[in-house]
Structure 1
């Protein structure tokens, strides 16, 4: 920041910018026989003070089991099916930290994450399958119970995916979203 008075300026560390700062722990423990215990915890924070950067402390918190033959099963707060479809298939900034600020592909009414979720993920060659279900807590205005599925095929620069997600609100309303799309990069 430059002051109107010549020779004076202010320098400061500013949190956020194009994306919130994150502190994360990713756990993988080989249990033998093709099984692994897995977990992920991500916290949003302001890098200058360490204060919580959002109303929900955790971006993701889940534990799971991974099999080399059958895929993964995860339990906890995690990205939903539609977010997975966008980021794995259609996102224009798939690996960029700027995805938090510029989200033309994330106009989802259901948000990117849900709590109390059970998710199954498996990749069989070029085919990816995901199923999700989440139990609600009955908090008004918060996405509650959900179900969803994702099917994606990717080969080289070509990918096609379809996904469906339905959320039951605590107040009784339902929101249904689906997508289908193709990308070539």
Structure 2
């Protein structure tokens, strides 16, 4: 009897120890809003929307202590729409993220699966489009540089993230096409470098997609992760911000080169515009875009904040020089650390593109394109994190 009790006690102790060294967390973010737009496909519109500023998601994340500073880590995350409960990534059980890997305290983290790219990890947080104080609706035109709030998720990815060395972190990734005999068709790769010390944050990165949207592979049209259907898309980005007191001010530059572009995804319509010609015009040839963003956020009180951003985008397209002016202003009130309300306005004006091109129409991210060169949207919404 004594031996049996001792064995049971030891088993219990080992079980408690194992549980203490492992953790699994259920988490999520809910974002819903009422949006007014002055022009969507030629009509003004009131709509109940989901994910106007941040992706609405739920997920599981976990870590197991393997000893000697080594941990097994994973994340499974699905996006969905608050207004109707539908999956954000149709047909995917965990379309937002699905990865597993090893984390070493002294050597960094290596992960495998469906993940956000490394440039979005590093430079994205310096933009208004990535953060709750601006969000997806404040993204640069057509989300051309993939810096907004995690809109592009890359399949078949191997990612390495270094530990922090004197404020510096480095990330790199490679995403396979998984195509026999066609290794480079629809693959992706990139790297980023970031520095954070006290009030100063700096980051830079490079990202490349080869034949994005060409069937299965790294970035597909089936799950709408491909912002552009093109032979090649290359993005360079650089940014920084500085916090002094209750204010944070940031600057971001990005350069996007898109070769043999055939179509661009419209989040508002759920389709690719321009590929075969449509109501908004055609799209083809080469496209170059430079985005210059200045942003600021100020906390009036611990609960009340205001923020704003302005982006000038200069382009080159088949001999023309299209350009966009985009501006955002938001005020946010937090009821608690997990629940807040926001009021946000976004303005976009496009000019200089050929009249028969998709580029001649203003198209605020998450909304259907305007029938003219100007679009204005105002949204009031609620967010809750758990």
Q: Among 229, 236, 244, which residue is 1:178 paired with?
A: 236
Per-residue displacement from partner, 1:132-175 (whole Å, max 9, x unpaired)? 1010145xxxx921111111111111122211112211669222
Provide the C-alpha distance between the structure 2 equivalents of 1:93 and 1:155, rounded to a whole number of angstroms: 23
1:161-176 superposed matches below 5 A: 161-169=203-211, 173-176=231-234
* Distance change >3 Å, CA 34–CA 21, structure 1 → 2: same
Q: CA deviation at 1:126?
A: 0.1
Q: Among 42, 48, 70, which residue is 1:35 paired with?
A: 70
Provide the C-alpha distance between the structure 2 equivalents of 1:100 and 1:56, rounded to a whole number of angstroms: 23
CA contact (8 A) 1:76 1:118 kept: yes
Task: Give unmatched runs, 5+ long, in structure 1.
Answer: 2-13
1:55-94 superposed matches below 5 A: 55=90, 57=92, 58-88=95-125, 90-92=126-128
Provide the C-alpha distance between the structure 1 equivalents of 2:153 and 2:62, rounded to a whole number of angstroms: 20
CA contact (8 A) 2:129 2:140 kept: no
1:1-185 superposed matches below 5 A: 16=50, 18=52, 19-47=54-82, 50-55=85-90, 57=92, 58-88=95-125, 90-92=126-128, 95-96=131-132, 99-104=135-140, 106-108=143-145, 112-122=152-162, 123-137=164-178, 144-169=186-211, 173-185=231-243
CA contact (8 A) 1:128 1:153 kept: yes
Deviates more, 1:52-61 or 1:74-83: 52-61
* Distance change >3 Å, CA 25–CA 168, structure 1 → 2: same
Provide the C-alpha distance between the structure 1 equivalents of 2:233 and 2:121, rounded to a whole number of angstroms: 18
User: What's the TM-score, normalizing by structure 1?
Assistant: 0.77
| SS state at 1:173 partner | strand
Per-residue displacement from partner, 1:36-61 (whole Å, max 9, x unpaired)? 11111111123465431333631111
User: What's the TM-score, normalizing by structure 2?
Assistant: 0.39
Aligned residues: 168
Provide the C-alpha distance between the structure 2 equivalents of 1:48 and 1:165, rounded to a whole number of angstroms: 33
Provide the C-alpha distance between the structure 2 equivalents of 1:97 and 1:39, rounded to a whole number of angstroms: 28
Provide the C-alpha distance between the structure 2 equivalents of 1:97 and 1:40, rounded to a whole number of angstroms: 25
Instruction: Give the alignment's Cα RMSD to 1 decimal.
Output: 2.9
